[in-house]
Structure 1
Amino acid sequence: MGPTAALSIVSLLAGFAAARNCANLTIPVSISARQGLFKDVPFEGNLDATTFSQNFNNIGQNYSQVLLQGYQTLTGNYKIAAQFCVPEAGSKTSTIQLLSHGIGFDKTYWDVPFNNYNYSYTDVALKKGYATLAIDRFGIGNSSHDDPINVVQAQAEVEVLNTITTMLRNKKVPGITGSYTKVIHVGHSFGSIQSYWLSALYPNNTDGLVLTGFSVNPAFLPATIAAWNLHIARLNQPLRFGNTSNGRGIDISAPYRSGKVVGAVQGFLNKVGVKLSSQDIWNEIATTEVANLIEGYNHSVTSYNYPSGYLAWSDFTSQQYTFLLPGYYDLSLGLYAESTKQPVTAGELLTIGSSPSSSPFTGPVLVVTGQQDAAFCGGDCYANTKGAASIPAAAAAAFPKTSKFEAYIQPNTAHGINFHYNATGAYNVIQSWLGVHGLAA
């Protein structure tokens, strides 16, 4: 295949979905990151997580500065889990999209298997001829975990992203043959912040930016964290996030469809004289933390054994507030996202606002944000625009040297673009925009 990239036979046999040339890879990285050294914070129980949120959102203080003791240079060797995909007919391109997920998700955000991959960003990119590499960000999912306060911070994750980018260009990623001369960084939410951050520190190491679920307005972060009602991850979903290798939960397959759990609970309540409708019981189970304790609701295939200091939003109601627009998403897909969610570290939250104020990047930049995005627009991306066409459009000021900046607002969509009925509409806008601005596959 010459200079173009393709899967090696070994990596192809490692595992892929039917008719989709995708393989799971493990990428060893070595990084050096200058980042904060914070005081220890207790994270033994859920009330500790609530206390952290209260302190973080206190308008009378900058909690990151309160905890900051100094700075350190983190050096280390880590492993990053990734999914590499090429079009079914094989790779004929030297352009790849490097995909970075946001808080609460992992690499599967870009390739959701729900409903036969009908919501898959990866599939749309592949059909346009691109190769894709979706990573589990450092500290999350099947990538290396580490100290959640003083190791897994935003700066370290940016260094990982930059290292993998360089490896792609230089044919150094195990399992991928050939090199990619063009790397497009596509992010969602915190992944978009990190892609922007990379462009500020290493402007020559990206060829284009697609920042989804993004703006440069930080005013809505406190409301987002409050809405999450953060709990300790290992307590929130002990079957997935805790060390449960010696025990299992109630083994129910897809209970929100089968109704087995609802029926069992209703039978018990009838015996003790409590009358609740099946719908009320379903609400009590599926939309609260009760679902997190039931295997089948939380798809407890993998036990991640996250230490304290890894935090998670409390339940499905918190997820809807932040990510989903009622009436415009499939409830079963929302429940799937809750069952497979991932945590956030305290260190990430303490450093999320530390990115550079502007980027010298000269290439094209596309911002794609749902109109009703709560996390970055407060629920309405056209409100309080202060002279810009939208809140995301104001991000143009952060790219004073870009060759092309555009902000696209996806209608009937909240922060979690990929979980809405019209997700593929946004995907096609992105691919078309890349093609127009010199980044076609």
Structure 2
Amino acid sequence: MAPLKAILPLVLAGFSAARQCSNFLIPVDISSRQGQFRKVPVEGNLDVGAFATRFNEFQKNYTATLLEGYQTLVGSYNISAQYCRPDSGSKNKIQILTHGIGFDKTYWDLDYDNYKYSYVNVALNAGYSTLAIDRFGIGNSSHGDPFNEIQAQAEVEALNAVTLAVRNGHIREIDSSYKKVIHVGHSFGSVQSYWLSAKYPKNTDGLILTGYSTAGQFLAYIVAGWNLHSARLNQPLRFGNASNVVFRTVVERHGLSNNIVQGLQKLLMAAGVDLTSDEVWNELATTEVLDLTTGYNKSVISYNYPSGYLTHSDLTALQYAFLQPGNYDVGLALVAEHTKQPVTTGELLTIGNAPKMSPFTGPVLVVTGETDVPFCGGNCYGQVMGTSTSNIPEGVAKAFPSASAFESYIQPNTGHGLNFHYNATAGYQVIQDFLARHGLAAQ
């Protein structure tokens, strides 16, 4: 069981030497040809459950069912970014880091346990600069209509716009341009990095696709396992309306905002129920109650997402989707649940629209956890029917017939959310070594 302190309001501090980091917004202009979907009710959790059920129906295509036509989305938006550079090292190579569903840019620079799991620190130590972004529509980047604005295609265009700004030195907060840009993605971020390489192959110099394969048949596994909720209802003060009178009244009246466990113990004792701290912890952390209380931490940003932004239900759904039981720190998993981010209906309806092949001619590395659920069905050593590859990630090679180098690596004792596992840094080093071997060393 995780220590009691893990579920208290999380004040995680850490310091890493030899790094200079800053956070800012990058303005981007987007022109994206994408779907126009009929909207269906997704405010209540039963409606969201109905959406997921129809999305997963065997031999049916819910995207086609809701598609009414096509549109060109044109607009100006802001992409939230964290830029880091080492005190010494190359200013010519940068890694652009794109997170997956359920996370934001902090996935790459987790400050838990004094930055023990930080990918950014490993990249900086190898001499690279990094730019981690919140994907368009998520986190502190611009939000939008979840059906007809925040779709995969628009996010790829936003990623490309950021890439061009980095290459051309057009970001005010970055004092140089970068001749070599490496795209590192996780999950949906890998889908978008791959998509960018297919549509704009000259705009990237190297691809690192983590938590990824081209086996699309497991998407239904993850959509079902998430037990999707309306984000606004799942974490009402964080994802919903910060002025929510009902929840805020309960918080203030019963003093739950600073120490949730002690506050609940007092309430239970007043009702004649005597439970230990561990018993209260188990009830809180492993059920949806945890998410209802997350908004009570007044330090958490209020995003106020509209209906149509969905999220996995709780910590147990997080474990199923992203974590290999027994090989992660439960305290860190609680951080992930406290800081999780949603997925839009439009993203789910368009995630499978990426081109089938990329003309990219640079090096490509795929890194996937051995029990990855969304891209391997829980077993990356399995074989997809009709293929001759010895494992699932190896099959990505067919999408890159012109790549100068292709390698796939299965990270042992790891689920989909690679950065949250005990052995995360071993996988990070595999990435830096691959880049060094194939002409993209920082120095």
Which residue number in structure 2 is paired with residue 5 of structure 1? none
Q: Does the CA-based 8 Å contact 1:291-1:298 persist in structure 2?
A: no
Judge conservation of contact 2:24–2:82 (CA < 8 Å) in 1.
Answer: yes
Larger mean CA deviation between 47-56 and 165-174 belongs to 165-174
Match of 1:375, SS?
coil
* 1:322 aligned partner: 321
Amino acid at match of 1:239: L
Paired position in structure 2 for 1:50: 49
Matches within 5 A, 1:371-386: 371-385=370-384, 386=387
1:173-211 superposed Cα distances (whole Å, 9 cap, x missing partner): 121121111100000000000000000101111100000
Shift of 1:35: 0.3
Q: Map Cα deviations across residues 232-270 of structure 1 (whole Å, 9 max, x no partner).
A: 10111112111114664748xxx9xx9x53344345445
Partner residue in 2 for 1:422: 423
Partner in structure 1 of residue 403 of structure 2: 402
1:69 — aligned with what?
Answer: 68
Given the alignment, which residue of 111, 114, 117 partners 1:113? Answer: 111
Q: 1:299·1:340 contact (CA, 8 Å) conserved in 2?
A: no
- Indicate the SS of the match to 2:183: strand
Kept in 2, the 8 Å contact 1:240–1:301? The answer is: yes
In structure 1, the partner of 2:436 is: 435
1:243 alignment counterpart: 241
User: Would you say the 8 A contact 1:35–1:155 is kept in 2?
Assistant: yes
Which residue matches 1:292? Answer: 291
- After superposition, residues 201-280 of structure 1 pair within 5 angstroms as 201-245=199-243, 248=248, 250=251, 260-274=259-273, 276=275, 278-280=277-279
Q: Which residue of 1 aligns with 2:154?
A: 156
**What is the aligned partner in structure 1 of residue 393 from structure 2?**
392
| CA shift in 2, pair 1:300/1:63, >3 Å | farther
Report the residue type matching 2:402 in the other structure: K
Aligned AA (1:426)? G
Give the conservation status (yes or no) of the 8 Å contact 1:86–1:130: yes
Q: How many residues align?
A: 420
8 Å CA contact retained: 2:227, 2:312: yes
How far residue 44 of structure 1 moved from its aligned partner, in angstroms, is: 1.9
Cα distance in 2 for partners of 1:312, 1:121 equals 25
Q: Which amino acid aligns with 2:339?
A: T
Q: Where does structure 1 lack aligned partners over 5 or more consecutive residues? A: 1-15
Q: CA deviation at 1:298?
A: 6.1
Question: In structure 2, how many angstroms separate the alpha carbons of the residues matched to 1:106 and 1:298?
Answer: 19
Residues 143-175 of structure 1: CA deviation (Å, up to 9, x unaligned):
000100000000000001111111111111121
How many angstroms does 1:408 deviate by?
A: 0.4
Match in the other structure for 2:125 = 127
Pick closer, same or farther for the CA change 1:220–1:138 going to 2, 3 Å. same
Offset of residue 40 of structure 1: 1.2
Note the alpha carbon deviations across 1:293-334, whole angstroms, 9 max, x for none.
Answer: 224776752100100000000000000001011111001000
Code of the aligned partner of 1:195: S
Measure, in 1, the Cα distance between the counterparts of 2:327 and 2:412. Answer: 10
Q: Percent identity?
A: 61
Report the 3-state secondary structure (helix = DSSP H, G, I; strand = E; otherwise coil) of the residue aligned with 1:186. strand
Asked if the contact 2:235/2:295 (under 8 Å) is kept, the reply is no
Distance 2:307 2:172 in 1: 32
Structure 2: runs of 5 or more not aligned: 1-13
Structure 1 residues 297 and 400 mapped into 2: Cα distance closer, same or farther (>3 Å)? Answer: farther
Q: Residue in 1 aligned with 2:7?
A: none
Give how far 1:52 is off: 0.4
CA RMSD of aligned residues (A): 2.0
8 A Cα contact 2:235 2:294, kept in partner? no
Shift, 1:278, TM fit? 4.2
